[in-house]
Amino acid sequence: MFPVPGRSHAILGEGFVRHLLNDGHEVTYITPIIMKMTHPRLRQIDISNSKLMPPDQMFDTQNILMNKWDFKNIKFMLFVTTNFVNGTLTHPNIQRLIHDPSEQFDAVIVEWLYSELYAGFASVFDCPLIWSSSLDPHWLVLDLIDEIPNPAYNPQHLADIVTPLGFWNRAEELWHVIHTKYFKWRLRHKENHIFDNAFASSVALRGRILPPLNEVRYNGSLILGNSHLSAGTAMRLPPNYIPIGGYHIKENIDPLPPNLQDIADNARNGFIYFSMGSMLKSSRIPDEMKKGLLNVFSKLDQTIIWKFEQELPDRPNNVHIVSWAPQLSILAHPNCKLFITHGGLLSVLETLHFGVPIIGVPMFGDQHMNINRVVEKGFGMRVDLNDDVVGNMEIAIREILDNPRYAQKVKEYSFIYHDRSTSPGQELTHWVSHVIRTKGAPHLRSPGYMLPWYQKLYLDLAIVIFITHVTGIPYNISHPNLRRFEVDYFLESIPNMDSSRAFGRIIRELFISSLREKDVNMLLRDTKERFDLVVAEWMFNDLYAGLSALYDCPLLWFSATESHWMMLRLLEDTINSQDTTSKYIPPFITSYIIQDM
């Protein structure tokens, strides 16, 4: 189910349909934008509703310039989305589907966009729930399957900032999490009413009772995310978040229409493709801005292909207007030198797929974050939509066309994008089938979901510490407000504290001895030795990392044990010991080992 009435969201939904059909599944596709294709195993359910369409004024360039709509306001986004979802769930075609007791499904796949109300479909059909996310991973969506990522270095998707964050940025990100959680809590009564009104009767028809929304919303088996590290940033992701960014791109790109093929082939100095996506109409760009952009384009040696809904008067000869443009086919052409875009995640992934540098003109939503990351990675530039957009656009175009580093950088990140163990489409079908075969894949779910928030934050332990002093070393002191438990017997349960200290020295001596071994010593002293990679076994010792520094090459750790905090600290924050314990050794014992080393 992909209910958002936007072409970019429909493209993602159609990608799911295409891959699932190719994998042999029977698919019921709920959408407001019906696909043109037909297939014997495909049923489409039309939920289009003109009353639910966002007004054109929302995406009017002039209104965006005036900041009439606050797309960064999470309260605004949640309020609008909740009303939209209510209208979708009461659509006659939806109600007809869920009130038919003969309908059965192996899994429900639903696009998440600021609402978990659609999770009720899994309750109706008593099957696993798979979320699809159209955005780069962020705390609002990861909260459905795991802990919230640390906002100190994982800014939310609507933020117009990049890492590392300063003091006030970190404060703003923390406030965003708290404020959003509070507003969602205030929405709970409205959401519960919508949820019960939409699904309770259909579940009752099947002889069951609808579970509460707050239970259902966290019952997703996994998230299939339209993301990839090449377009985003490195962050710790749970095993049931699967990045499949680029799955919507077909392996065999359709050829260009004859008129566009002729224009692209005859662009002797290459061509620039200019498109502001499907939601924003170029016809709503102010006349003065259109004239300024045409003047900039007229000075260029390159051909311009501009996706525009109407013909432009006084158009320069090197500017070609097309009301519809096959974006993938255009970007795939070898003469495409630059892509001017609004910076939606689909466009960023497509430019990485085909290796074309971009200029981003972010308008709303996650586009600011996407383009900031493009600029940070070095394969594009940002031009803000303001009164200086024309002059800044000319500067950016000339910089990218004249400076080869942008084309070089996009090729580097394009390699990272393509260098995967399997294609994103195969990842999609594998994990959908895996969830079905394992009846919801409960083995992928985080143990942290068994803990209430106050235990995750150790607040209950903090209360105990404030109230009761627990010690393993008795001492002579008394106070009317002090209650003391002597747990010196716990020390006796440890075989030998000195042996724990000695273990650190043993590990250190083992390291020194291995380096003194004759053959190893000769290897280290040979200045001609070169390596592409150092693979070192980690066993309570980080010292072998020096080999990577010696040979100036990447380091790959190998661990013989199951993952635990001592090992994972080498890559990421120390993980929460409430739901992930150490292997063999408690943290306070380990501290002795580290200190002695």
Nearest Cα neighbor of 326 from 307, 298, 344, 351 is: 307
Handedness of CA 129, 130, 136, 138 (dihedral sign): positive
pLDDT exceeds cutoff 70 at 134 = yes
pLDDT exceeds cutoff 80 at 587 = no
Strand ranges of the sheet holding 319-322, from the earlier edge strand across to the other edge: 319-322, 303-307, 271-274, 336-341, 358-360, 380-382
Instruction: Name every residue whose Cβ is closer than 8 Å to that of residue 590 and which is 6 or more positions away in sequence.
Output: 566, 582
Instruction: Name every residue whose Cβ is closer than 8 Å to that of residue 455 and which is 6 or more positions away in sequence.
Output: 578
Q: What is the largest CA-CA distance in the chain?
A: 94
Q: Are 513 and 497 in contact (CB under 8 A)?
A: no
Torsion of CA 274, 279, 284, 286, to 10 degrees: -60
CA dist., res. 597 & res. 594, Å (int): 5
CA dist., res. 516 & res. 197, Å (int): 74
Angle (CA) 184-187-189 rounded to 5° is 135
End-to-end CA distance of the chain: 56
How many CB atoms neighbour CB 431 within 10 A? 20
Cis? peptide before 164, omega within 30° of 0: yes
pLDDT exceeds cutoff 80 at 304 = yes
Nearest Cα neighbor of 571 from 592, 545, 597 is: 545
Reported confidence tier of residue 498, pLDDT bands at 50, 70, 90: low
Reported confidence tier of residue 501, pLDDT bands at 50, 70, 90: low
* DSSP secondary structure of 261-318: HHHHHT-TT-EEEE--TTTS-GGGS-HHHHHHHHHHHHT-SSEEEEE-SS--TT--TT
**pLDDT given for residue 577 in this prediction:** 57
CA dist., res. 221 & res. 273, Å (int): 40
Q: What is the mean pLDDT of residues 417-433?
A: 97
**pLDDT given for residue 105 in this prediction:** 98
pLDDT per position as a tens digit, 139-171: 999 999 988 899 999 999 889 988 899 999 999
DSSP bridge partners of 536: 557
Buried b / exposed e across 99-120, counting CB within 10 Å, b at 16+? Answer: eeeeeebebbbbbbbbbbbbbb
Does this model's pTM top 0.75? My answer is yes
Instruction: Name every residue whose Cβ is closer than 8 Å to that of residue 328 and which is 6 or more positions away in sequence.
Output: 249, 250, 253, 254, 350, 354
Instruction: Name every residue whose Cβ is closer than 8 Å to that of residue 177 and which is 6 or more positions away in sequence.
Output: 139, 148, 151, 156
Residue percentage of the chain with pLDDT more than 90: 60
Nearest Cα neighbor of 125 from 441, 433, 442, 440 is: 440
Phi-psi region of 126 (alpha: psi -120 to 50; beta: other; left: phi over 0): left
CA dist., res. 105 & res. 122, Å (int): 9
DSSP bridge partners of 380: 358
**pLDDT given for residue 193 in this prediction:** 97
Domains and CATH numbers, the chain: 7-249+423-450 (3.40.50), 258-418 (3.40.50.2000), 494-596 (no CATH)
CA dist., res. 371 & res. 359, Å (int): 8
How large is the angle between the packed helices 587-596 and 497-516, nearest 10 degrees? 50
**pLDDT given for residue 594 in this prediction:** 45
CA dist., res. 136 & res. 225, Å (int): 7
CA dist., res. 122 & res. 218, Å (int): 12
Q: What is the mean pLDDT of residues 125-135?
A: 97
DSSP bridge partners of 30: 45
If residue 471 lies in a helix (H) or strand (E), which one and from where to where? strand 469-471
pLDDT exceeds cutoff 70 at 313 = yes
Buried b / exposed e across 327-354, counting CB within 10 Å, b at 16+? Answer: bbbbbbbebbbbbbbbbbbbbbbbbbbb
